[in-house]
Amino acid sequence: MERLKKHLVQILLGLAVGLVFLGHAGRFYQIPLVSVLDAFIYDTRLRLTMPGGVDSRIVILDIDEKSLAEDGRWPWNRDKMATLVDRLFDQYGIAILGFDVVFAEPDESSGLKSLEAMARRELKDDASFQGALKGLRTSLDYDRRFADALKDRPVVLGYYFTNLSTARESGALPDPALPSGTFKGRNLALTSWNGFGANLPQFQAAAASSGHFVPLVDFDGISRRVPMLVEYKGAYYESLSLAMVRLLLGSPPIVPGYADDGGMSNRHYAGLEWLDLQTPKGTVRVPVDESAATLIPYRGREGSFPYLPIADALHGRLPVDALKGKIVIIGTTTPGLMDLRATPVATTYPGVEIHANLVAGMLDGSIKLKPAYVLGAEVLMVGICGLALALLLPLLNPLRATMLAASFFVLASLLNVFLWQSGLLLPLASTLLMILALYALSMSWGYFVESRSKRQFTELFGQYVPPELVDEMARDPERYSMEGRNEELTVLFADVRNFTSISEGLPPKELTQLMNEYLGAMTTVIRNNRGTLDKYVGDMIMAFWGAPVADVEHARHAVLTALDMQRELRRLDEPFKARGWPELHIGVGVNTGMMTVGDMGSPVRKAYTVMGDAVNLGSRLEGITKQYGVGILVGETTRDKVKDVVFRELDRVRVKGKDEPVAIFEPLGLSGEVSKERLDSLKLWQQVLRLYRAQDWDQADVQLYNLLRQEPGCKLYELYAQRVAHLRQRPPGEGWDGVTTFETK
């Protein structure tokens, strides 16, 4: 009991997880992942257990490309179809014929309609024409000839139902298989429709039977079931496959079947489980679910039944044995006739073969059962497994918890396979996913909730902060938090110059190696100076100082990092050159100011980062280093906080997104490490800036000339020489503040 109390929170969480999956199993709501996995398991199980082989009892006459090329595009005229039907029964002696097509429109290809119009008008007084027409009328009435061919033969016509916004009815429906009121008082979920497309009335009257050929399409677009019965205006109509089987068996009535409800009247039990066809030779039982749909018993991939070109049958080229006594279905595999379906066994599968599978499955009794009580069985399985694991897993060590969860997983799977082989479909995904979820909860609870604070801090800050700082934080974890706060910090941005050209000039593998070595070296420099690595964005590096561990010298450490990065980059020149890689140059921007720091992002992904105007300015400074031909630029605030570094002021700028101008500086090195020559040049440069801002163009030009003699090709000096020349031609006037405005980032 004490152990249960100790793990009470974990047990309650486990029970909550179990309840979530129990709600899905009980159909109170749907969890999409569970539905997707259930469909995957069903499809995989079906493919692995399909009997395979070819069922020669059922033959598909294929309206294929060969037949269309020989006899013209579909639909063929009814004269040809009448000839085909006569030949199939008289010459080949087939047992039954099913049409997976609809004959919805009159055939006027014979010209009879035009001849009759002439007989009523311009030739109405022509006795010879009238006599000839009377003799021809029977042979030219192709629809009547086709209807006569259907009469008194075991032919099943196909038709379809629709659910359009505007109900449409075309053709004539057959008599319903079950009358209105058959399922009165039962809460069934039969598929209902508001329109149909059926055959012409004379064909419907002549045919022995008719059935719809509309499969059900699941949420993923896959056809796994076909409704044996559908509802239309209160009456119930059978499928093409069921109509064919009934006709084969002598047209027995359909008797809905319900499971024994323990003495209660069946009228109070909604669970429709089968349809019985009672014949003198016995009862054929067709399993259905609560929507009167049957799982399609796929025998195998396309070609599980013989396919013969319909043109060969029409012209009598087939051997009699190929069709004698066979169940024949006319359909198409031609993509242009749009009867291809997505199924568990193939992404494009002929719809006509779905009907063949169903006919074979009904005759063989091989259709899987999915009765209504499966819902209760699934709920019971999820409930037992969930309760047992929620109570036991928290009490076991990781090894024993793994063994227990694996045992439940295997046992549930074996039981499900046994039931499948016995002909019963029981959903499995909710049970398996719940077992995995409870096991994951148990392992993660031990790993996260019961782990020590040092590991927590290592996970939270280890990717950003050097290990020594993580150790320092772990000693007093309550002082540190990833929650957002405002603080004065220093940010650094570093970007590779001309990276696009570099990336285009190297193979992907070598570019990856180059970037890994470069980023690794720069990251080491940042960490050696107590920096927090923020992110890599392509070839750009972002880091900051002063958080999560406070650093009173954050500005100094950032500036020293920028200088060290430039030195480290030059150290890489020799090994890069030895590999044939280009020499890298980077621009670095550093700025200090008030920033918001914390764990920011979306529920999908967060990062410990900094935001604010000061951060944006740091990025802008990095971007304009190339304008001045320098490797590092720092903001005015940063320069004021670092006393032991020599800086060279370069300009006063107004960057994009900011109205206030700022002074920008280039760090030259630590005091005492900068050469005398560099310091002398710095003094001369400072004079240039004073003269430039005083608009003394002549003296500024002289001093710039002297500097360029000392450092030929210096981009900074050349830039100011160009500015002086321009401003001498176009003086800015007395109100000029000497600020350079950048309109781009």
Residue 632 confidence (pLDDT): 97
- Assigned domain for 87 exists: yes
**What is 614-666 written as a DSSP string?**
HHHHHHHHHHHHHHHT-SEEEEHHHHHH--SEEEEEEEEEE-TT--S-EEEEE
404, 425, 449 - which closes a domain: 449
pLDDT attached to residue 269: 46
Identify which of 679, 723, 716 has the alpha carbon closest to the alpha carbon of residue 701: 723
Q: How far apart are the first and last CA of the chain?
A: 66
According to the model, what pLDDT value does residue 122 have? 65
Q: Kindly state whether residue 617 falls inside one of the protein's structural domains.
A: yes
594 and 640 within one domain: yes
Residue 154 within any structural domain of the chain: yes
H helix count then E strand count, the chain = 26, 27
Q: Which of 307, 336, 364 represents a domain boundary (last residue)?
A: 364
Degrees to nearest 5, angle at CA 640 with 639 and 641: 90
Q: Note the pLDDT of residue 459.
A: 62
Which pLDDT score, from 0 to 100, does residue 142 have?
A: 85
Q: How far is the C-alpha of 404 from the C-alpha of 385, rounded, in Å?
A: 11
Q: What is the pLDDT of residue 727?
A: 92
Q: Which helix (H) or strand (E) holds 609?
A: strand 606-611
Neighbours of 281 (CB within 10 A): 8
Shared-domain flag, residues 417 and 435: yes
Q: Which residues pair with 97 in a beta bridge?
A: 155, 328
Q: 715 in helix, strand or coil?
A: helix
The per-residue pLDDT for 457 is 58
Q: Which residues touch 458 (CB under 8 Å, ≥6 apart)?
A: 470, 474
Give CA 460 to chain center in angstroms: 30
Considering the domain architecture, whether residues 355 and 501 belong to the same structural domain is answered as no
Same domain for 328 and 408: no
User: Do the domain assignments include residue 190?
Assistant: yes
345 in any annotated domain: yes
Number of domains in the chain: 3
Which pLDDT does position 6 carry in this prediction? Answer: 63
Sequence-distant (6+) residues with CB within 8 A of 22 are: 379, 382, 383, 386
Indicate which CATH number applies to the domain containing 550: 3.30.70.1230
Domain end (from 674, 708, 725): 674
Q: Which residues of the chain have pLDDT under 70?
A: 1-6, 109-140, 260-270, 447-481, 744-745
Same domain, 639 and 579: yes
Please check whether residue 86 lies inside any domain of the structure: yes
Domain that holds residue 623: 481-674
Tens of pLDDT, residues 237-261 = 999 999 999 999 999 999 998 875 4
Residue 412 falls within a domain, yes or no? Answer: yes
Check residue 606 and give its pLDDT: 74
